[in-house]
């Protein structure tokens, strides 16, 4: 068991930061108003998150902020980090005043920090410790098998260093986020409030796939091969449609490795939380072909070609 835990620690570097937890708590409560009552100063931070999101133009643009959170332990660290943003930043067709909006948010977090540390963080800290133990218990005993499965079938490079994972007690949907930090390295933020047990383990594996894909060399990988085949079929790499299909495979691969290796009665996150139902044109078909591939009935390139052929034919 000790050896298993040591290997797991080489895959995930779990961290807990009160400042990052505060940031994501404000994000979560802004996305679900009234779900959890906030003290007056924390509520001001929640309100500032909403204003900042309007300035950013939508929740999809939080990645640039969250990538700058790595290493922050206090709200003052977040304010300092956000202060390095350019004054203006192009978001699509818009140019926003990025530094002013984000520093204003960080100032609100500073104002809420004492209240948060007193009223919220102690309970959150207990929750994070328990959830870290749950992930470790789920993934630690079979890490050589599930990690080997993952890197084999997705053709990923074995990690040479652990993936940095900040566990947070509250997060908005979809609860897991992999961002690029200021040093160009992937950093994972994993909200533990969505699930427990094997479902939380699957979320950790899913984000690990994102992190390994971000580190991946340019000339290998099942995800890369899927992007190429989609591109050749007229679905350009980087478009919303291509990204949606590639992301579906990440959900499917993480769900299947947990089901097959970690816990046989596991239900995919995509099944339980409706992700697959929201992509009926992609998920059932891709899941079917992926399972055939894992069962050895078909090789990878044939599996991808068959999926892309059937998917594009159904669109006509």
Per-residue pLDDT reduced to its tens digit, 136-155:
999 976 567 899 999 999 99
- Whether residues 24 and 120 share a domain: the answer is yes
Neighbours of 309 (CB within 10 A): 12
Residue pLDDT, tens place only, 29-45: 999 877 777 799 999 99
In a domain, 200, yes or no: no
Specify the range with the lowest mean pLDDT, choosing from 70-84, 149-163, 261-275: 149-163
> Of 176, 191, 206, which residue sits at a domain end?
191
150 and 19 within one domain:
yes
DSSP secondary structure letter of residue 219: T
Verify that 144 and 255 share a domain, yes or no. Answer: no
pLDDT at site 46: 95
Residues in contact with 297: Cβ distance below 8 Å, sequence separation at least 6, in sequence order: none
- The mean pLDDT value for 254-263 works out to 96
- pLDDT number for residue 141: 61
Residue 248: what pLDDT? 98
Token couple for 73: 């332990």
Query: What is the structure's pLDDT at 32?
Result: 85
Q: Which residue has the higher pLDDT, 117 or 55?
A: 117
Nearest to 85 by CA among 107, 61, 101: 101
196 in a structural domain: no
pLDDT surpasses 60 at 9? no
**What's the domain count of the chain?**
2
Same domain, yes or no: 38 and 142: yes
Crossing angle of helices 222-232 and 300-315, in 10° steps, is: 40
Q: Determine, yes or no, domain membership for 298.
A: yes
pTM of the predicted structure, to 2 decimals: 0.93
201 within domain boundaries: no
Q: Identify the residue with better confidence: 136 or 306.
A: 306
Starting at the edge strand found earlier in the chain, the sheet holding 176-180 runs 12-15, 163-168, 186-191, 176-180
Structural domain including 187 reads: 2-191
Is residue 8 domain-resident? yes
Q: What pLDDT band is residue 10 in, cutting at 50, 70 and 90?
A: low
Average pLDDT over residues 87-112: 91
Give the tens place of pLDDT for each residue, 104-140: 999 999 999 999 999 999 999 999 999 999 999 999 7
Residue 208 lies in a domain: no
Model pLDDT, residue 57 = 77
Burial of 228: CB neighbours in 10 Å, binned 0-12, 13-18, 19+: middle
Q: Is residue 45 part of a domain?
A: yes
Statement to judge: residues 33 and 111 lie in one domain: yes
Q: Output the pLDDT for position 96.
A: 86
Q: Both tokens of residue 295?
A: 């069962």
Task: Say if residue 6's pLDDT is above 50.
Answer: no
**Non-local CB neighbours of 20 within 8 Å, separated by 6+ positions:** 69, 72, 166, 168, 189
């Amino acid at each position: 068991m000790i050896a298993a835990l040591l290997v797991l620690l080489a895959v995930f570097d779990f961290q807990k930061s009160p400042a990052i937890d505060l940031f994501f708590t404000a994000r979560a409560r802004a996305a679900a108003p009234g779900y959890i009552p906030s003290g007056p100063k924390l509520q001001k931070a929640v309100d500032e998150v909403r204003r900042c999101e309007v300035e950013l133009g939508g929740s999809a643009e939080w990645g640039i902020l969250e990538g700058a959170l790595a290493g922050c332990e206090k709200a003052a660290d977040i304010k300092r980090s956000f202060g390095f943003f350019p004054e203006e930043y192009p978001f699509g067709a818009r140019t926003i005043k990025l530094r002013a909006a984000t520093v204003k948010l960080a100032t609100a977090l500073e104002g809420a920090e004492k209240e948060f540390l007193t009223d919220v963080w102690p309970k959150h800290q207990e929750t994070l410790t328990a959830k870290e133990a749950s992930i470790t218990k789920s993934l630690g005993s079979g890490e050589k098998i599930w990690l080997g499965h993952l890197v084999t079938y997705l053709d990923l490079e074995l990690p040479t260093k652990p993936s940095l994972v900040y566990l947070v007690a509250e997060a908005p949907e979809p609860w897991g986020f992999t961002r690029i930090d200021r040093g160009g390295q992937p950093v994972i933020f994993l909200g533990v409030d969505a699930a427990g047990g094997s479902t939380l383990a699957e979320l950790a594996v899913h984000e690990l796939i994102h992190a390994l894909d971000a580190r991946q060399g340019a000339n290998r990988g099942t995800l890369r091969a899927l992007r190429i085949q989609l591109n050749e079929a007229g679905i350009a790499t980087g478009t919303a449609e291509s990204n949606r299909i590639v992301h579906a495979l990440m959900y499917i691969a993480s769900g299947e490795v947990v089901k097959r290796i970690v816990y046989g009665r596991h239900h995919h996150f995509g099944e339980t939380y409706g992700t697959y139902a929201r992509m009926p044109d992609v998920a059932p078909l891709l899941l079917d072909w992926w399972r055939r591939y894992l069962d050895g009935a078909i090789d990878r390139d044939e599996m991808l070609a068959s999926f892309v052929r059937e998917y594009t034919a159904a669109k006509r």
